[in-house]
Structure 1
Amino acid sequence: MWKGKTMSQKYTDRVREQLSFYSANQTELSDLFAVLIGGKGATPERCQKLAGIGLEELAEMSLEELGEYVPKTAAERIYAAFELGWRTIKVRSRGQRTILRSPQDAADFVRSEIAHEKQEHFVVLLLDVKNHLIGQETVFIGSLNASIAHPREIFKTAIRRSAAAIICLHNHPSGDPQPSAEDRNVTRRLKEAGEVVGIELLDHIIIGEERFYSFREHDLL
């Protein structure tokens, strides 16, 4: 029985043809997803939806979370593509990685980004076993409390990136870096969670206008 191509197959054929004539960086993000998904699952609507979510959010999704948007085999291909991207970044950065040797190093690294923000920004620095920086994530923006700064969200990226340790930092818009009771509570919970998952909380640093407070330097970690 003769069968013509489906709309999704025609779509992916067109995208592949474009790739053969133009460089990948001239290709729409949704079209790149069409190549990864392939077959009947690569509908324009589905690919555009993925592009709308954005690379940053998609890159942090688990295989199961990606599977909510695309068929299982397509989710596996997308997941693998992001992993290849992470590994490429690691290879390219060898020999020029930032090494964080002290609380001062960590504070200086993010100070210009968050010191003068009007809201609290909670940043996580991801480190390998030699304290090389392998990633940075702003986990949330807003007032710090135990319900928002949940260890699950903070360690999620660290686990995915195979980090050996993390340094957490957040700013105090008031300019005073002295920790609140909530800051201490969050630090305690993060330390306990890190011990459970095997990823050390090296420090929790509060950035003020001109000074910073290190829980490590005050022997609270």
Structure 2
Amino acid sequence: MAGGDAERQKLCREAAEQIRSEKLLEQIGKAVGEPKEKDIRRYYQRNIERFSVPEMVRAAHIVKHPDPQVPSEQQKQQMDELLGRIENGEDFAVLADEHSACPGNGGDLGYFSRGQMVPSFEQVVFDLPSGQTSGVFSTEFGWHIAKVLDRKPAMPCPLEQVRQVIVNELTQQARDKALERFLDAERQKAVVEER
């Protein structure tokens, strides 16, 4: 029974300590208050890249996957012929549906940002102006011809759209600083009391 009482007392002390800690954090939170408008705007401006939608490209492609039965040079030659047909005015989407290893939707991949496709594909596509068709190029997936259908530049989200995120971050930073100051003061008191 005595061991059970000691354990119960220990649990009660821990629970009381937890309650004191929570009350202290609540008091610190109230003391900190809401960040000022100028601080919100300054934080937004200093971190604008975090609150931006990245550049997006909408592209279509024709791809020939590697085929062990067909030499790579022959596959490239087939893609060069398709490129010639595109350059002579044939419709890219029709040729993509007829000749691509990934037919459908005219080869349209939809919108994507950097980091969503393999780097060798992105390098070509993000360097192309809207409406332009690439030359034949290779990636780990085979031979490609790409066409940029549209692009959207990187754009910052409006402040009002990210305001609550900023308020939360600034409030948390202020609470952390206030708690650190409180703990430093308590440590100083403990050092003085020890002497």
Question: TM-score, normalised on structure 2?
Answer: 0.21
Where is the helix percentage greater, Structure 1 or Structure 2?
Answer: 2
Select the structure of larger CA radius of gyration: 2
